[in-house]
Amino acid sequence: MAHILTVLGLGPGAREWITPEASEALGAASDLVGYRTYLDLVPELKNTPRRHVSGNRVEIKRAREALDLAASGKRVVLVTSGDPGIFAMASAVYEVLEKEPSSWPGVDVRIIPGISAMQAAAARVGAPLGHDFCVISLSDIRKPWEVVENRLVHAARGDFVLALYNPASKTRREQIKKAITLLLEHRSGAVPVVIAQNLGRAGEQVLITRLDKIDPDIIDMRTVLIIGSSQSREVERADGSCFVYSPRSCGG
């Protein structure tokens, strides 16, 4: 029988977003592999799997370790937050498998999807992703900044809503500023923006602002931004509460 490496997304952090499929896989695991922050989000498990903690930014090493453990017969779950298929570990696992085709021949990979941060952020404020949108990582660690800029420009020209992942870190402070400047060349500063941090975790904060009023200093690596299209609207209700949504229809 083939060994299986399960790559699993917990969702943004709250237990109520962990799917039954993910819970079942966690409950059957002998070994969990993951970045410490994500392993800390795993609920207590009766099966008490062994935990293999790794640092951030060592995705390839972590993918190899998980594949090795699976090849040795362990029931391994590689844990990520959000959806493993969206800017997370699934791609790193397949990258390793492509580069080393003769390693791990007996290991099948199973991906378990999860709620991604943009979905939780959208749900907190309304329906900003209710119409066509683009999802872009602002990290230029593994791609040239020119590629990011080109995508931002085309997303803006296509009048897409944008969901921005990895907008900043302690050391990457300029990317989000450059992105805002670039988007303001193509889009009104008045479009609504959602800034969401620590979704479903302690310190959750969701802020509604506008493109020309984003404070880049508050943006960190646990932030996801949703930037409205020309059609997206912030609406105030009679009780003073606000929602942001993107209509299903739009003018020509």
The H helix count followed by the E strand count for the chain is 7, 13
Nearer to a copy of itself by Cβ, of 215 and 236: the residue is 236
In the bound state with a copy of itself, the residue whose beta carbon lies nearer, of 144 and 203, is 144
Q: What is the DSSP letter of 129?
A: T
**Cα–Cα dist 108/113, whole Å:** 16
> To the nearest whole angstrom, how small is the minimum distance from the Cβ of residue 181 to a copy of itself?
18
Within 176-215, which residues bind a copy of itself (CB under 8 A)? Answer: none
Q: Which of 4, 134, 182, 206 binds a copy of itself (CB under 8 A)?
A: 134
Contact 33, 63 (CB under 8 A): no
Other Cβ atoms within 10 Å of 136 Cβ, number: 21
Per CB under 8 A, does 227 bind a copy of itself? no
Judge contact between 235 and 130, C-beta under 8 A: no
Is position 242 an interface residue for a copy of itself (rule: CB under 8 A)? no
In this structure, how many other beta carbons lie within 10 angstroms of the beta carbon of residue 76? 27
Supply the DSSP symbol for 44.
P
Q: Which residues are registered as beta bridge partners of 223?
A: 197
Closest contact distance (angstroms) between CB of 1 and a copy of itself is 13
Residue type (1 letter), 4: I
Q: Which stretch binds a copy of itself (CB under 8 A): 73-81, 125-133, 187-195, 211-219?
A: 125-133
Residue 155 in contact with a copy of itself, rule: CB under 8 A: yes
Q: Give the nearer residue to a copy of itself in terms of CB position, either 147 or 218.
A: 147
Check residue 102 for interaction with a copy of itself (CB under 8 A).
yes
Q: How many residues bind a copy of itself (CB under 8 A)?
A: 81
Quick one: which of 33, 70, 90, 227 contacts a copy of itself (CB under 8 A)? 90
Distance CA 206, CA 225 (A): 10
**In whole angstroms, how close is the CB of 81 to a copy of itself at the nearest point?**
14
